[in-house]
């Protein structure tokens, strides 16, 4: 089983997470070795119970101001995920961060995922735009399998 935590404000990341889960289900039906995906949505209402198994994070990007390189940015909307990862013991189990966003934001494209990767000492594994594509789901599923060596 691959555990995936995600946060979604306008539904794109939720749609991609479900797409990824369906991709895994189809792969599992064809090959029992292919792991299924368990999803967990994080929101402002989430009370941390403490993660006990390795997991991956899908996080979209909502930033105000700056480019994050020569001046600062302020994270909006997604801070519940950062707070969750900062809970004792959680970040240590994070095997990687997958970012999403919109390339129109140039240097800020997927910047929240990159900032989390640095802050929580986890690899930035992949990125996709908006709701992602079939190719994104296939690629990200494979990256997760490779990372866990399953």
Question: Rule CB under 6 A: which residues touch ligand FMN?
Answer: 8-14, 60-63, 100-102, 105, 108-111, 130
Whole-angstrom Cα distance, residue 135 to residue 41? 23
Q: Which is nearer to ligand FMN, 57 or 110 (CB)?
A: 110
Q: Which is nearer to ligand FMN, 67 or 147 (CB)?
A: 67
The least distance separating ligand FMN from the CB of residue 119, rounded to whole angstroms, comes to 17
Contact 40, 3 (CB under 8 A): yes
The least distance separating ligand FMN from the CB of residue 88, rounded to whole angstroms, comes to 27
Q: Which residue in the shown chain puts its C-beta closest to ligand FMN?
A: 101
Q: Which is nearer to ligand FMN, 105 or 145 (CB)?
A: 105
Phi/psi for 9 (5° steps) reads -95, -50
**DSSP H helices in 31-131:** 79-86, 111-120
Return the bridge partners of 3, or none.
38
Edge-to-edge, what's the strand order for the sheet holding 2-6? Answer: 37-41, 2-6, 55-59, 94-101, 124-129
**DSSP H helices in 69-122:** 79-86, 111-120
Q: Which is nearer to ligand FMN, 3 or 112 (CB)?
A: 112
């Amino acid at each position: 089983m691959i555990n995936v935590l995600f946060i979604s404000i306008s539904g794109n990341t939720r749609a991609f997470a479900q797409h990824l889960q369906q991709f895994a289900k189809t792969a599992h039906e064809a090959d029992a070795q292919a792991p299924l995906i368990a999803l967990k949505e994080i929101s402002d209402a989430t009370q941390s119970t403490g993660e006990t198994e390795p997991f991956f994070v899908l996080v979209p990007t909502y930033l105000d101001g700056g480019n994050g390189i020569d001046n600062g940015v302020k994270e909006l909307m997604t801070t519940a995920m950062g707070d969750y990862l900062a809970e004792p013991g959680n970040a240590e189990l994070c095997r990687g961060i997958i970012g999403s966003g919109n390339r129109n934001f140039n240097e800020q494209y997927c910047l929240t995922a990159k900032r989390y990767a640095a802050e929580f000492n986890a690899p930035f594994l992949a990125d996709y735009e908006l709701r992602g594509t079939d190719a994104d789901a296939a690629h990200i599923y494979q990256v997760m399998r490779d990372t866990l060596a399953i």
